Amino acid sequence: MQYCCESMQRHIEYGEFEYHPSHRCICCFFRRRRRNEGYGQRMLNFCPFCGTKLPDNLYNKYPDELEKAVGKDFCDITEDEIPEEFKTDEWWKKRGL
């Protein structure tokens, strides 16, 4: 994936933001208000640096497409039945999503 700007790329390289290729989603970490709650994660819809709208994430499409590929209900699919392409960005690129 090409990132929208240098700041975004830097944040992902330094691990401050996390890119999940299989779900096409960028998450950022934030500190919660109360100390003992630790860090939370928030999905980004827009780049906080340049304001570019980020591509829609695939959290809704992923289970459907995985079911079709494996031929089972999503909740019955075990870890080792997940095709390799679903562990990377290959599956949605192939399908033109």
Which residues sit at the interface with Zn ion, rule CB under 5 A? 4-5, 8, 47, 49-50, 52
What is the full DSSP assignment across 74-91?
GGG--GGGS-GGGGSSHH
CB under 8 Å to 42, separation ≥6 — which residues? 27, 28, 29, 30
Q: Which is nearer to Zn ion, 49 or 67 (CB)?
A: 49
Nearer to Zn ion, 43 or 50 (CB): 50
CB of 6 to Zn ion, least distance (A): 8
- Minimal distance, residue 71 CB to Zn ion, in Å: 39
**CB-wise, 6 or 64, nearer to Zn ion?**
6
Q: Which residue has the tokens 């992923």?
A: 62
Residue 57 · residue 19 · CB < 8 Å: no
Q: How far is the CB of 37 from Zn ion (least distance, A)?
A: 28
